[in-house]
Structures are given as C-alpha cells and as structure tokens.
Structure 1
Amino acid sequence: MEKINSVPDSLLAPIPWFRQMQKDNPVFFDSRFTLFSGTTGAWHVFRYEDVAQVFRDHGSFTSAYIPKSANNVLLGESLIFKDPPDHTKLRKVLSKGLSPFLVNRMESTVVELTQQMLTPFLEKGEMDFMKDFADLLPLWIVMKILGIRDEDFEVVKNLSGTILASPEMTRDYEMFFKAQLEGKQFLEEVIRQHEVEPKNDFIGILLNSKIEDQSVSVLDMVSLSFSVMLGGVESTTAFLGNVMRALITYPDIQDQVRQQPADLPAMLNEVLRFYPSIFTFSRVAAKDVELGGQQIHKGDFMVPWLGATNFDDAIFPEPDVFDINRKNLGQILNFGHGIHYCPGEAVSRQEARAAFGYLLPQLSDIKLKEGAALTLHPSTTVNCLKSLPITFTYNGEK
C-alpha cells in the first residue's frame, strides 16, 4: 500500500493515481516525500474541497514558511511565500505594474515574437515545440514586462532555469541557492538601469509607486520582479507545451478551433484542466487542524495537489474525458485559490491565446514526430514536457 500511495516515478499520465487517491486516501502522510527545501515528510491532499480549503484558509495553512536568509533571498521574499498583511500590500502594487502591459501590449508582442520564432521552421515542417518555442516565448515576454534588455536573454534563461528547477529532484542545492543570490544581484542592476534611464514598464511603474505612502524598497522591487518571473515563465512554458500536446492527442480539436476561432478560449481552459500546468504548491500548517478526517499538527508540511482537483468527479463530471464544452471550467484551481490566486494567470492565458491564435491558421496536420516519446521535467510542482518534436504542414501566413 505504501508504494501505491507514494508519488509515481512519472506523472506523465497521473489521472488513475489522482482518482485512486481521491477515492481511497484523500489526505495521507508520506514520510519519504522530499520538498524543494530538502525537508522530508508531508501531507498530500487530493480532493477538490480539501485543496480549496488549504488555499483559502491562510490562517490555518500558511505560505510564509520559507526562511528569510541570503540563501533563500528570492523565494523567501517572493509574493507567493507571504501572508497578509504583507501579501495584500505587495499584491496591489504588482497588479498595478502588470496592468498596462496586459491591456495595451500583450497580444501584439506575443504575435510578433511567435512569428519570429516559427519562421525558421515553417518550410521544414518540423520543430521541437518545447525547445524551439515554448521554452523561449515566456522568457521573452517576462523580459518585455520587466524591462530587461534583449542582450541579457541568456543570463535570464540560465538564472531562471536554475532557480525554477526542482532541487529535490536535482539534489544540487548549492547551485540552487547560488542562482538565487545571482538573480537578486541581476535584478538590482536592472533596477539601477531604470533609475538612470526611466522606462514605462513594470519596474518603471514600481519606481513611481508607493506602499502605504512609502516608496517601494529595492528589496520589494526585486521580490515583485521575481514573482513575475516565477508566475510568468515556468507555468506558461508548461501551458504552451500542454496545449500543443492536446492538439496532437486530439487532432479533431485542431480543425474545430481552426474553423471556429471563438472556441480557442474554451479549448485553452480544458487544457488547463486536463493537462494542469501546476501539480502542487506547498503550505505549512500554522496550527493544529483537522482536514479530511486527518489530524494535522502545527508545522506539518502540506502538499495540496491542484492537478488532482481537476479530476474530482464531484466537481467535473466524466473528468477523464477531454471536453471543451464544459460549463464550469471557471472552477479549476490550477492557478491557486483565494488571495493566492496566481497573478501570472492573466499573462499565461493571454500569451497562449495570442500565440495559438496566430499559429493555428498557418499549421495543419500537426502530429508528434514519428518515433518520439514524451517525457516530463522531473518535478512534482510543474507539469512541463522536456521536449515535443512535431511535424506539420505549413499553410502560409493568414
């Protein structure tokens, strides 16, 4: 039974495990589970209502558990690891900084970058969708949002790749902590560049914003900029790859959305449910509390499986079926719940909608390249493909 309860070696096809755990062991303690901090032992939570409670009740399940130290300077200070009132104050500033880009520049920027990245592969009729596109577009978008120079792309790519990796899988904690310090120093330099040459972007807006009548500190600007990276890169990369995975797995959807572009948002919503970008996000019990019939003690780590909630048939009838006509897709918890609903959600959705709105009219007969096999990055946090070799027919720019 212990082996059945433990997280499978691969989460490429997790639905049977999710459904079994919801039925037989919806809240259970796994003493062998390792979190990204290196801590072992955590409560796993699978049913929709229980997971929603963990995210909603921040008085019982806290996000503010990362030690604030030089090693954890980015994660420890980031928005997702804060509780009210600090979270509330910073969240308002973050939303203010993101709004202009999302409203005025997002779609045109995504379409322009999508065109640039696809062009070298169109006549070839094949590409690795992850390595040639999905791994790159979210990085470029986050750089545009923050106001990072194009020539720093490789720096951002290397730093984010290391920081956003799962050290519990790589076991390279030294590199993980070193990258956080380097990331802090890099973002501080970007802020200094903005002080010398003001820009109308996220950091430029932060420099002119206030928190309770006080200028936003450099540490808070670093924290908020990293929160944008955290919310806008990894989960969006996963989302873009999972959209393409759905299109090659259910080829009829390609034709439907190509012929009826208005169905694209519904298709993207069902991808988020069926191939959740985020599997889990940890919490810690702030006090003794009962959940799902289990007694949780203060200080216990919690692993609410956001991805599993999408297959809870109490909420989503016939959850094993990919169906873009579902009426309650607004209930998915992929981006969290309550005050910690991910601010990167709007970035991910708009990015995917603009990219595939441009891509689908041009490409048809999209298939997984013969002989290719899908694998995921080793993570219990993000559901992200390592590579996705595809072939297609280029229809010409529409």
Structure 2
Amino acid sequence: MKPQYWFRWLSVQGTPRVVLRLQARRGDPFAELVAGPAGYTDPYPLIERLRGEGRIIRTAIAFATFDHELCRSLLRDNRFGVRTQESFRVPKSMTKLAERFPLPPNPVEPPSMLVIDPPEHTAMRKPVASAFTPRAVGRLRDRVESVTEELLDALPSDGSADLIESFAAQVPIAIISEMLGFPDEDRAMFLDWGDRMTPLLDLGIPWRVHRRALRAMEVMNDYLDRHIERLRRDPGEDILSSLVTTGELDDHALKATASLLMGAGFETTVNLIGNGVVQLLAHPDQQERLRAEPELWPNAVEEILRFDSPVQTTARTALTDVDIDGVRIREGDTVVLSLAGANRDPAVFTEPERFDVGRENAKDHLSFSSGVHVCLGASLARMEGVYALRALFGRFPELRLDGPPQRRELFTLHGYHRVPIRLGRRAAMPEPSVV
C-alpha cells in the first residue's frame, strides 16, 4: 500500500473520525448517528431527536436537515453543489494534503458524476442517460424476469439460504454486468469490490477499512484497463462499448463512470430487496394485502424506499453565502441532507413510522435524490425491486426468517449484510404483472 494513502486517509477520514468519536462520547446525537453503531442498526430514534432541534441545525462538522421540504429544495438549488469529504470542516492544510495524493478512478472522486456539478456533470451524464430511459429499461424487463426465475429455481425448496448472497445481490449485479459488457463469471469479483469500496461513501471510516477499499480500487482499475482495451478491439452492444467507441470520455473518465455505474447499479437495489423482505416479514398483514391486491406491488416498493431508505443521506456545499430558513450558510459550508429523515417527515407522511404498502403518497420519498443529481437508474431499481420481491413471495409463500438479520456497518448505504431465511414449500411462479 502506497504510504501517501495513509496521509490521504488522515486528511479526508481520520480528522473527521476523531471529531465524531469525541462528540459521540459527549452524547451528540448527530455524531452518534454518523459514527455508529446506532447509525446503521436503528437510526430512526436519533433522526427524530435531531428533527426536534430545528429544521436546519449546526453540528460539529456541518449543518444538517431532516426536513422533507428543505431537503427537496436544497437538492434542486443551484446555489449548492455536490460535496466531497473534503467539504466538511477539516483544516485547509489537511485538504491541500489530500489533493496531493489522487486516487485511481473511482465513484467517489471527480470526474465521477456523483461528485461534480454542471457543466462537467452534464457532460459526463449525457452519454449514459439514454441507457436508463423508461423505454430502455422496459427492454430489460424480460432479462430481469429470467434472471429472477433462474435464481429462484436454484434456491432449495423447504431449505435455508442467505437472502442477500443467494438472491438480493444476484439480480442487480447480473443486469448491470450485462449493461456494461462484463463477463458473467466476474460477478462475484464485482460484489467483493463493491463490499470493500462502499464504505468510502461514509465519513470517518477507520484506516483498515480505507486501506481495504483502496486495494480493491487498484485491482478494479487494472481490470477496467484490460476490459476497455478489449472493448476497443471488439465492442459489443453495451453502454461501456458505446462510450469507448464514441470517444467522448478519456480513459480516466471511462473508468470513473464504469465504477460508478457498477456500484450504483446494484447497491440501491440489493438494499431495496433486502430491506423489503425484512419489512414484509415483520408485517404479515401487509403481505396478505399484497396477495389480495397484487397491483399494489409497485406502490409497496415505493413504501419500502420511504420507510427504510437504502440511501440514508447525501450532502450539498454552498457555492455562495445564502440564508436557509433563517440560518446563514457561508460559502464552502456543507449541509448534510438526511433522506431517511425527509422520508419520515410527519409534515408530509401521515404516521410516518407505520409501514403501509397502500400509502397514497409513498412515491413522494427522496430516496433517489432530486434535481440534476437524481438517480439515473431509479426506474431500473424500481422495476428490479417489484419483480424480484413479487416473484420471491409468490414462489415461496411460507418464507420466514431463519435467524436475526445482520446490518451492514455503513451509515450512508442502509441495508443488510446477511438475511438468513427459511424458504418453505415452493409454489408455482406467479404470472408476471406490468411493472
């Protein structure tokens, strides 16, 4: 491991980690939320405590809001830009140090479209947007259905399995691998890289976790170099082949885009499916309603996204001085936007702590963000989630937990590392419904 990576961790993650841990020991609910373990086991009591402190609050490292209206408006406000970890209250000398040690192309640093603003963001997003239009996603429906059926056929009737490893992760990784032209046999490797690299989205991660992520990043960078070279010689019909052949992006940008699509293409959906199964098993009355009214499955997915948000938070940095709800935000200040808090705002959602697959305004959640950075793959994640969950509960109507689910130790991405299930008897596959 390159020694400069340690200095980078110290400036980007180590300093915020010390601040957060000290604040958490003093009982600061925001620090407890971000630093864990409450932030990844059950963040909602802390979110409600913080909501009671005001619509926008000042914390040790940033401003924060848990208010639906403010989150939605800030996501759409061009006076704010996307943030990197360096945007938080870290001494400028530390941020300058970080800039001296760039990382290989990855999803959490420029030129990844996740962390750049227009016009650069527009230029990066435009070449891939056509692959995620409703029409393009509709063409993937048959493939999603066939992958789902293959995975369900492989599950042992009346046996036990880990839902995440055997099903929830496999549906989205199969689809995004095809979309990027990756061989099927490499899927397990992608899942491992994703598991190692997703902590980089959090703030204040330990050095050992950071080091593990960087090693995966270096291996992935070498893999993408070889894959892009193959596509230049023999392009296919996938998104990455199209980007390679048009020449709109250089190799660095190609790899940043590929790594972002690879991660974003399955992270939200695997958490959506896992969270959905756990919530439906905890609410058998809602399962019964879906059996009686299968047309509610698309709305049920919206309620899962609202109730237990796969992406809990994002942030924006002020590009100029601005007043928000009577609070002065200076240029360069960061505002943490709690999507999970917005999705349980009682001003928008009646009885927000109640899981209701028939909730009329469930789709008003902000789990896919909003504004120019709204999730490109939202329609694909929805379609995968609806079909996978409906097919799973249809094929295994006696499905139940076979032990306590284990949460991933992440704050930003909220899902399960392991969900042990007992499948029960196998039923006939239900007829597909329109998604």
TM-score (ref. length: structure 1): 0.88
Structure 1 letter corresponding to 2:232: E
Asked whether the equivalents of residues 126 and 391 of structure 1 are also in contact (C-alpha less than 8 Å), the reply is: yes
Shift of 1:72: 5.5
Looking at structure 2, the residues matched to 160 and 95 of structure 1 have their Cα atoms a distance apart, in angstroms, of 22
**Gap regions ≥5 residues in structure 1:** 32-40
Alpha-carbon distance between aligned partners in 2 of 1:323 and 1:251, rounded to the nearest angstrom: 11
Q: Establish whether residue 253 from structure 1 lines up as the match of residue 281 from structure 2.
A: no
Shift of 1:2: 4.2
Alpha-carbon distance between aligned partners in 2 of 1:14 and 1:156, rounded to the nearest angstrom = 28
Distance, in Å, in 1 between the alignment partners of 2:275 and 2:129 is 26
* 1:24 Cα deviation after fit: 2.2
Question: Following the alignment from structure 1 to structure 2, what is the Cα–Cα distance between the partners of residues 367 and 158?
Answer: 27
Task: Report the CA distance between 1:162 and its aligned residue.
Answer: 1.4
Q: CA deviation at 1:224?
A: 2.2
> Which of 266, 282, 288 is residue 233 of structure 1 equivalent to?
266
Alignment correspondent of 1:112? 146
- The residue that corresponds to 1:37 in the other structure is none
| SS across alignment from 1:360 | helix
* Mapped pair 1:373 → 2:373: no
CA distance in 2, matches of 1:73, 1:201: 20
The AA in structure 1 aligned to 2:183 is: R
1:70 matched residue in structure 2? 102
Give the aligned residue type for 1:201: D
The separation in 2 between residues aligned to 1:125 and 1:268, in whole angstroms, is 26
Aligned with residue 7 of structure 1, among 21, 28, 32: 32
More displaced, 81-90 or 282-291? Answer: 282-291
How far off is 1:200 after superposition? 0.6
In the TM superposition, 1:350-389 aligns within 5 A as 350-369=383-402, 372-389=403-420
1:94 is matched with which residue?
A: 128
2:179 aligned to which of 145, 152, 155: 145
Q: Which residue of 1 aligns with 2:159?
A: 125
- Following TM superposition, by how much is the alpha carbon of 1:5 offset from its aligned partner in structure 2, in angstroms? 4.3
In 2, Cα distance between equivalents of 1:302 and 1:284: 6
Aligned to 1:54: 74
Matched with 2:89 is none
Indicate if the aligned counterparts of 1:231 and 1:343 stay in contact, CA closer than 8 A.
no
Determine which of 35, 44, 56 is the counterpart of 1:27.
56
Relative distance call for 1:87 and 1:192 in structure 2 (3 A) is same
Native 8 Å contact 1:98 1:145 kept in 2 = no
Letter in 1 for 2:408: H
**Does the CA-based 8 Å contact 2:224-2:255 persist in structure 1?**
yes
Normalized per residue, which structure has more helix?
2
Q: Would you say the 8 A contact 1:143–1:149 is kept in 2?
A: yes
CA-based RMSD: 2.4
Work out the CA distance in 1 between the residues paired with 2:145 and 2:369: 28
Residue 64 of structure 1 deviates from its aligned partner by 6.5
Per-residue deviation, residues 63-113 of structure 1 (Å, max 9, x unmatched): 477777631631222111110011112222111234475231x22222222
In the alignment, does 2:329 pair up with 1:296? yes
- Residue 329 of structure 1 corresponds to 362
Taking the aligned partners of 1:148 and 1:324, their CA distance within structure 2 comes to: 36
Contact 1:285 1:299 in 2 (8 A): yes
**Correspondence for 1:17 among 46, 50, 55:** 46
Secondary structure, counterpart of 1:73 in structure 2: coil
Are residues 1:182 and 2:219 paired? Answer: yes
- Secondary structure at the counterpart of residue 230 of structure 1: helix
Aligned residues: percent identity?
A: 23
Residue 266 (structure 1) aligned to one of 289, 293, 299: 299
What residue identity is the alignment partner of 2:42?
A
Query: How far apart, in 2, do the equivalents of 1:374 and 1:30 lie?
Result: 32
Alpha-carbon shift at residue 27 of structure 1 (Å)? 2.5
Q: Which moves more between the two structures, 115-124 or 306-315?
A: 115-124
How far residue 322 of structure 1 moved from its aligned partner, in angstroms, is 1.3
AA partner of residue 411 (structure 2): T
Does the 8 Å contact 1:54/1:61 carry over to 2?
Answer: no
- Could you tell which deviates more after superposition, 183-192 or 233-242? 183-192
What is the number of residues matched between the two proteins? 382
Q: Secondary structure at the match of 1:268?
A: helix
**What residue number does 1:204 align with?**
241
- Looking at structure 1, the residues matched to 234 and 216 of structure 2 have their Cα atoms a distance apart, in angstroms, of 27
Give 1:314's aligned amino acid: A
| Aligned-partner Cα distance in 1 for 2:47–2:195 | 28
Q: Which amino acid aligns with 1:199?
A: G
Amino acid of the structure 1 residue aligned with 2:417: K
**What CA deviation, in whole Å up to 9, does each residue of 1:360-390 have, x standing for no partner?**
2211132222xx2233211220111121112
1:169 is matched with 205
Is residue 406–residue 418 contact of structure 2 (8 Å, CA) maintained in 1?
yes
The letter for the 1-side match of 2:55 is P
Q: CA deviation at 1:170?
A: 4.2
State the shift of 1:307 in Å: 0.7
Per the TM alignment, residue 187 of structure 1 is displaced from its structure 2 partner at its CA by 1.9
User: In the alignment, which residue of structure 2 is the partner of 1:38?
Assistant: none
Relative to 1, partners in 2 of residues 1:285 and 1:230: Cα closer, same or farther, differing over 3 Å?
Answer: farther
CA shift digits 1:160-189 (9 cap, x unpaired): 221113463343323323332332332232
TM-score normalised by structure 2 residue count: 0.81
